[in-house]
Structure 1
Amino acid sequence: MSKLTHLDEQGQAHMVDVGHKLPSQREATAEGFVTMQPATLQLILEGGHKKGDVLAVARIAGIQAAKKCSDLIPLCHPLMLSGIKVELEPQPEHSRVRIEATCKLSGQTGVEMEALTAVSVAALTLYDMCKAVDKGMVIGDLRLLEKIGGKSGHWQADGSTPA
C-alpha cells in the first residue's frame, strides 16, 4: 500500500510539492445523489419553486465550488481549470437527482477533489433551496467515477461507464 502523500516523515500535514512534475492533460468525473420526496422532485421539475430554477442554481454553485476547491480543502493546490461541466439529472423513478461533475486541466496535479467538491456543493445547494418543503432529503453516494492522466494513468470505479 502506498503511503499518504500529504503527511511527512513525522506525520505532519503538508502540501505536496508538484513542481518537479511535467504538466499533462488530466480529467476527473464524480457523482452524487439527492433523494427526496416525490412531491419535492415534482416541484423542481415543474419549475414551481419560489426560489427559482433549482437545477440551474445548483449547477452554477457546483461550477463555482470546483473553482474554489483550494479555498475549501486546506491541502489542495489552486488549479487553473480548463473545463468544468456539472449535470443534474432528475430520476423520478428513484425520487432523486443525480449530479455528475467533470473537471479538466493541463497541469501537474489531478482534479479529483475539484470534481468531488463540485458535486458536493451542487447537492448542498439543491438541499438548501428545497429544505423549506422537504427537510428529510438525503445527500449520498458521493464518489469518484473516473480519473484520467497523471502518473497513475486511467482509473475507473467499478460499475461506472466511461465519461
Structure 2
Amino acid sequence: MTQSIFKSLTVLVVDDSAYMRHLLMTLLHALGVSDVHVAAEGDEAWEMFRRYEPDIVITDAAMLPVDGFSFAERLRNITGGGLGMVPIIMVSGHTDLASIERARDVGITEFLSKPISARSLYQRLIQVIDRPRQFVETPTYRGPDRRRRNQPYDGVDRRGAVALL
C-alpha cells in the first residue's frame, strides 16, 4: 500500500454545517490525512487551533456567531512563531467577486467553492503544500502573497519596502 503524502498533516475543519464537517473529514481521511479536528464556528475553532496547532485550516466563510473571515483575521494577527502563517483554505457557496476579494484581503491562502469534490480539495491541499506562496507582512496586510505569478514590475514603488517572510 502506498503511503499518502498527507499522512503527517494535522487539519482543522471549521464549518457550522454538521454535513459539511462530516463530508470534509471523510474526504480528508480518504486522501490519507489521519489527524483531523472539527469545530462548528470560529470561537470553538480558535480554542482547537491553540490546542492542536494544525498544519492547515479549512474554514467555511458564513458561520454564526463568528464567521470564517473573522476567524482568519484572528489567525493572521498571531505574531511570533509560525502559527499566524498557517495555510487557510476557505470553503464557500458565496463565489461572488466581493466575497473572493474579501477572503483574499483577510489572508486566505486558497478559496474552494461549494459544491466541493475530492479532486478540488486534493488540488487545494497540493497547492498549499507543494506550491506555497511567500508570506507578506505590511502595515495593512498579513498573509500569503496575493500575486499568483512572479512577474517583474517596472513601475514606481509606491508601497515602499515589504517584508517577505
Check whether TM > 0.5: no
Q: Using CA pairs below 8 Å that are at least 6 residues apart, which structure has the higher relative contact order?
A: 1
Task: Place the TM-score, normalised by the shorter chain, in its bin.
Answer: under 0.3
Structure holding more strand per residue: 1
Structure holding more helix per residue: 2
Report the TM-score when normalising by structure 2. Answer: 0.24
